[in-house]
A and B are shown apart, each in its own frame.
Chain A
Amino acid sequence: DVKVTQSSRYLVKRTGEKVFLECVQDMDHENMFWYRQDPGLGLRLIYFSYDVKMKEKGDIPEGYSVSREKKERFSLILESASTNQTSMYLCASSLSPTGGNSPLHFGNGTRLTVT
């Protein structure tokens, strides 16, 4: 079974802090994704990566950046956290570059609160 591990289940950060969310997958998938999940808005794609050192913007990249230095690890960075970035963040990996032909495998999420 694919395992996607997010390093923190809960995080509380202050406005203006730089925040790192880490994600590791163990199935050698080339494609990794970061989503945020908010009530009433569903899952929205922030960034995705189809290879090491490659990244593509999703629907809501503003205020975020990503890093993919190793195939198994995909990091989401909030350069200067703001209260509107309080959310559930979900990492996923897939054999498919779009999450289409092969399903997305999700981690259990990081609930980030910015105060």
Chain B
Amino acid sequence: EDQVTQSPEALRLQEGESSSLNCSYTVSGLRGLFWYRQDPGKGPEFLFTLYSAGEEKEKERLKATLTKKESFLHITAPKPEDSATYLCAVQAFRAQKLVFGQGTRLTINP
């Protein structure tokens, strides 16, 4: 069974304090790994898709990386507006659907 585990569940940082969120996955044949951002009271918003180990994607202060077992979402010099829940999802080649992790709730204090 495909599984996704995100850690930590919650992370509180000071503005400017860089850190990383982890997404560990177990899937037989990874088709793609996806990162979404969810603000309170809103639906998730797509950030990145990663397809193969070694791939990296960047968007503003965010950089996503992928290995054969996990993905990291690196946040460099975060600002309060980066506060959100970050969701990771995977899709296997044989699967019809995505499997989501539980999310990491990130809070950036000014």
Interface centre among B31, B44, B89 (most CB of A within 10 A): B44
Query: Which residues of B come within 8 Å of A, CB atoms?
Result: 4, 31-32, 34, 36, 41-46, 49, 87, 89, 91, 95-98, 100-103
- Kindly state whether residue A87 has any CB partner on chain B within 8 Å: no
Query: Which residues of A come within 8 Å of B, CB atoms?
Result: 4, 40-45, 48, 56, 58-59, 90, 92, 97-101, 103-109
> Dominant SS at the A interface?
loop
Residues of B within 8 A of A103 (CB): 34, 46, 49
Closest to B49 in A: A103
Interface centre among B34, B96, B97, B102 (most CB of A within 10 A): B97
Closest to B31 in A: A100
Closest to A43 in B: B100
> Assuming the A-B contacts A97-B96, A98-B95, A99-B98, are A104 and B46 also in contact, with contact meaning beta carbons closer than 8 angstroms in the complex?
yes
B102 contact from A41, A45, A106, A109, Cβ within 8 A: A41
Residues of B within 8 A of A90 (CB): 43-44
